[in-house]
Amino acid sequence: MLVDSAGLWFRSYYALPDSLTAPDGTPVNSVRGFCDMLAKLIGDRRPSRLVACLDNDWRPQFRVDALPSYKAHRVAADDPAAEEVPDTLSPQIPVILEVLDAAGVATAEAEGFEADDVIGALADREDRDAVEVVTGDRDLFQLVRTQPTPVRVIYIGAGLAKAQDYGPAELAEKYALTADRAGDDYADMAVLRGDPSDGLPGVAGIGEKTAAKLITQFGSLEALLAAAAAGDSSLTPRIRGKLAEAADYLAAAPSVVQVARDAPVVLDRPDQIPRSTVDTERLVALQRTWGLGASIDRLITALTS
């Protein structure tokens, strides 16, 4: 199980009230929600290996160089290198990392890369076990596969209670893609469609359904653009015109949308679920210090049962 850690702690922060506080008054809503979500994932899905994947760089320079608009709207006003993070969330992140360390859960990052790249690299090179990616980011749909080991995405965009389980067949059915290349098709479709939340404008006038139809018809973004440049009569003049107008964007966007599967990932420890090495005493101390209540109890139970 590869967990998009920031996705979980942001989701927890906005899902739970900041009236959940430590004895000193510090909000711990994100910490408690993160622990609860992790405990439920472990308890329900029983992974034998688990990695909490981290952003080493939330807005990598290679993506900004390719497309300056990438996440530009999320840059903190007082620090162009930092992400805009709520004041009451920032102090909770070190606590979450302490909990993960005490729980013996492996964390992973890659210098100069996002958590998406870490997840992509770890999933891509796995040749022994089936992989589940837990995320609320649709970009990671591009990772689904059946061989050499299955990779599925547990999508929690609507919350963990409404998690959706996607492999190639489910992804192909949802977006009208080709099952045997659903992951690659999704990445190409995402380039055309764009994603305002990441500062990706997409191609004006081409929405999700049209994007999926075009990628399915031509087999890839590269083949579509070659057909458009050759004046393929199966493309309407309007579509050819829209693609031509977006030529600069289309040249840059694939390197932004595609995860860097060669990211130099470093794990801080082995990734086996540490049933016998959980530092229960330290977790209980963190529970007491930060007022984490039953959330820590549930995490300990999930890890040790």
pLDDT tens digits, 264-295: 999 999 999 877 679 999 999 999 999 999 99
Q: What topology does CATH give the domain 2-304?
A: Rossmann fold (3.40.50)
pLDDT-derived band of residue 78, with 50, 70 and 90 as boundaries?
confident
The model's pLDDT over 244-260, given as tens digits with 9 standing for 90+, comes to 999 999 999 999 999 99
List the one residue out of 77, 37, 67, 58 whose CA is nearest residue 251. 67
Report the pLDDT value the prediction gives residue 82, as an integer from 0 to 100.
86
Q: CB count, 10 Å around CB of 147?
A: 7
Rounded to two decimals, what is the model's pTM? 0.95
Q: What is the dihedral of CA 12, 190, 195, 85, to 10 degrees?
A: 40
Residue found by looking up tokens 């510090």 in the block: 26
Beta bridge partners of 99: none
Q: What is the pLDDT of residues 212-226, one digit of tens each?
A: 999 999 999 999 999
Res. 7: pLDDT tops 90: yes
**In this model, does residue 79 exceed pLDDT 90?**
no
pLDDT at 177 over 90: yes
* Residues 120, 123, 125: CA angle, nearest 5 degrees: 105
Strands, DSSP E only, in the chain? 2-4, 51-53, 75-76, 79-83, 106-109, 131-135, 151-155, 164-166, 266-267
